Amino acid sequence: MRLILASVSPRRKELLKKAGFAFETFAPDTDEISEGLYFEKVALFNAIRKAEFVAGLFPDAMVIGADTVIESEGRILGKPCSLSNAADMLSSLSGKAHRVVSAVCVRNIEKSISCVFAELSTVYLRDFGADTIDRYLRLVNVLDKAGAYAVQEYGDMLVEKLDGSVENVIGLPTARLTESLNHLLSAVEHQVT
């Protein structure tokens, strides 16, 4: 069965490829919400919208929609709009823990399949100052990264400890997704038509 990742995120593509799946990508034309709901619900809402949009265009395909949200002290942290904003974000995260939730929706319209889940990780950042922030901003393009950092890019400069899946923090909880996809694809193969 055709598998489509409803994302053009290079990190999600890399993680899904590393998990061993052959897939295509398609950018969903949807607006993401970023406030007004509990942070986990924001991620779930966005993942479902992405999967539903692409599944509507390719009803015979198994479509994966995903969204990752960072929450710190009750605030959702999106992607920084400037390097100054990124420095402020990193400064506010320094020495603190924050939560990262990645939500996934797997959808196939033709077979009436829908699977939705969210995985939570907690990231503990070192207590760092302006020098570390400046150095990190010179090394990493943070403008396309929620929370202004990437655990997989010089993350050891900032991250002290991580509870949960590192793949989840990067943007796609591949262990749980692999388990879900294998189960769904097996069920489709054994479905009587």
Contact 73, 60 (CB under 8 A): no
Q: What is the per-residue pLDDT for 180? A: 94
Catalytic annotation, residues: 67
Distance, CA of 53 to CA of 123 (rounded, Å):
31
The pLDDT of residue 138 is 97
> What's the confidence (pLDDT) of residue 140?
96
Q: What pLDDT, on a 0 to 100 scale, did the predictor assign at position 30? A: 86
| Structural domains of the chain sorted by starting position, each given as residue range(s) with its CATH number in brackets | 3-189 (3.90.950.10)
Q: What tens digit of pLDDT does each residue of 158-180 get?
A: 999 999 999 999 999 999 999 99
Q: Is 147 left (phi over 0), alpha (psi -120 to 50) or beta?
A: left
pLDDT tens for each residue of 30-77: 887 777 778 899 999 999 999 999 999 999 999 999 999 999 999 999
Token pair 């015979």 in the structure block, residue: 60
For residue 160, count other CB atoms closer than 10 A to its CB: 13
- Per-residue model confidence as pLDDT tens digits over 114-136: 999 999 999 999 999 999 999 99
